[in-house]
């Protein structure tokens, strides 16, 4: 069986442990996986289409870009698997509990704290929510960006935490974060209990996905997909890896929940239709 070369972004040192572990587990089951780590998603998205890697562990934004690159090339991309935890996320627009704001339109003239420029969940999607309420970012509302880990597509939690702190400390009137980070920030006390409330939230969307590019050997890919979908939380060797990567099981990849992000990318002019990086001031 042919080797599959997987790309993943090194957003944290633990990615080495994770992919070494998955590689060991897969190789023990006759799946010859190798991996390379990238410093950011843009090169990974480009390399997937160029055939320098066969499979990419992609952020939703990297999926959008690779899909556009593939369309422009006339090639196809396959969504292999995703984590159970990648399905049905929402992003909340949070305000202080004593804030007079009651709807998204009340944010006109106010300051909204977001994550990094390339964070789908903490910047692109919530700003699109504001647009659908008729508020143009940087014109009708002031956007306070928190560019931690630019190029990591928001994988680094620091941008969202800084946005939450800006809200707490009164430097912003609202802050955008995922439902899970909102819960985390409240549980860990970054946001004091009962000090904030949710003003609005996005529709549900999907997050990361494992994407296979044109160079992936179909039989090897089938084998990989089957093994990942069979990987059980009951397996004591696999469980620490699943815990570290933040899932309890792999699910089939689905790609019908990225429409909101496609729209947000267009509105922000982040990528062009052919997958080129068109946003200004983005230097991963």
Partner 1 sequence: MSAAIDLESLTLDNGGHLLVRRALGTLRPGERLTVRGAHPELPLQLGAWARSRGHRVDHEAPAPTDGRPVTVLVKGAAEELRWSGARRAGRADRADPHADPRWGLAARGALVEEGGPALDVAWVDRDLVWADVAPTLYARAAASQWDPATAVDWAVPDALPTDIEDAVVQVMTYLVENEQAALMIPARMLANLHPHYREVMQLLASQVADEARHVEVFTRRALLHRERPGTSGAGGRASLQTLLGEPDFTLASFLLSVLGEGTFVDLLGFLHHHAPDPVTAGITRLAARDEARHVAFGVAHTAHVTRSDPAFLGRLRQAVERRHDALRDTAGLNQEVYDSLVLLAAGSWEPAAIRRGWDAVQELQRQMDDGRRRRLHAIGFPDDESAELSALHTRNFM
Sites of contact with partner 1 (CB under 8 A): 84-85, 87-90, 92, 178-180, 182-183, 186-187, 193, 197-198, 201, 204, 232-234, 236-237, 239-240, 246-249
For the CB of residue 38, give the shortest distance to partner 1 in the complex, in Å: 26
* Nearer CB in complex with partner 1: 173/206: 206
For the CB of residue 210, give the shortest distance to partner 1 in the complex, in Å: 18
Query: Can you spell out the DSSP letters for 131-157?
Result: HHTT--BTTTBEEE---SSTTSTT-ST
For the CB of residue 90, give the shortest distance to partner 1 in the complex, in Å: 6
Cα 277–Cα 282–Cα 284 angle in degrees, nearest 5:
95
For residue 178, what are the β-bridge partners?
91
* Nearer CB in complex with partner 1: 132/187: 187
For the CB of residue 194, give the shortest distance to partner 1 in the complex, in Å: 8
Output the CA torsion sign for 275, 278, 282, 284: positive
* Nearer CB in complex with partner 1: 23/201: 201
Sequence-separated (6 or more) residues with CB below 8 Å from residue 32: 1, 2, 3, 4, 26, 220
Asked if 41 and 282 count as a contact pair (C-beta separation under 8 A), the reply is no
* Nearer CB in complex with partner 1: 18/247: 247
Cα 216–Cα 88–Cα 94 angle in degrees, nearest 5:
130
* Nearer CB in complex with partner 1: 40/161: 161
For the CB of residue 112, give the shortest distance to partner 1 in the complex, in Å: 18
What are the angstrom distances between the C-alpha of 243 and each of 17, 152, 213, 235?
Answer: 12, 21, 27, 12
Query: Can you spell out the DSSP letters for 158-175?
Result: HHHHHHHHHHHTTS-SEE
For the CB of residue 268, give the shortest distance to partner 1 in the complex, in Å: 25
For the CB of residue 205, give the shortest distance to partner 1 in the complex, in Å: 12
Q: Nearest 5°: phi and psi at 190?
A: -55, -40
Task: State the maximum Cα–Cα separation within the chain, in Å, rounded to a whole number.
Answer: 62
* Nearer CB in complex with partner 1: 136/237: 237
For the CB of residue 55, give the shortest distance to partner 1 in the complex, in Å: 24
Output the CA torsion sign for 269, 205, 129, 161: negative
* Nearer CB in complex with partner 1: 87/171: 87
* Nearer CB in complex with partner 1: 19/250: 250
């Amino acid at each position: 069986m042919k080797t599959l070369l997987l790309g993943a972004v090194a957003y944290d040192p633990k990615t080495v442990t994770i992919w070494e572990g998955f590689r060991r587990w897969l190789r023990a089951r006759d799946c010859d996986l190798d991996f390379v780590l990238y410093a950011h998603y843009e090169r990974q998205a480009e390399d997937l289409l160029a055939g320098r890697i066969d499979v990419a562990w992609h952020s939703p934004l990297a999926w959008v870009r690779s899909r556009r690159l593939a369309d422009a090339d006339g090639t196809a991309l396959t969504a292999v698997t995703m984590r159970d935890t990648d399905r049905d996320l929402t992003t909340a627009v949070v305000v202080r509990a004593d804030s007079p704001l009651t709807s998204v339109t009340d944010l006109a003239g106010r300051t909204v704290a977001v994550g990094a420029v390339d964070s789908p969940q903490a910047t692109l999607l919530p700003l699109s929510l504001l647009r659908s309420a008729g508020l143009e970012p940087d014109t009708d509302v002031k956007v306070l960006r928190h560019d931690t880990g630019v190029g990591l597509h928001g994988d680094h939690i620091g941008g969202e935490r800084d946005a939450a702190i800006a809200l707490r400390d009164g430097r912003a009137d609202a802050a955008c974060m995922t439902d899970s980070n909102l819960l985390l920030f409240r549980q860990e006390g970054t946001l004091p209990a009962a000090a904030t409330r949710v003003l609005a939230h996005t529709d549900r969307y999907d997050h990361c996905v494992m994407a296979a590019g044109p160079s992936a050997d179909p039989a090897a890919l089938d084998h990989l997909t089957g093994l990942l979908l069979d990987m059980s939380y009951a397996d004591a060797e696999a469980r620490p890896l699943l815990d570290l990567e933040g899932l309890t099981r792999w699910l089939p990849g689905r790609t019908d929940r990225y429409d909101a992000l496609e729209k947000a990318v267009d509105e922000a002019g982040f990528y062009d239709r052919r997958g080129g990086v068109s946003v200004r001031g983005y230097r991963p």
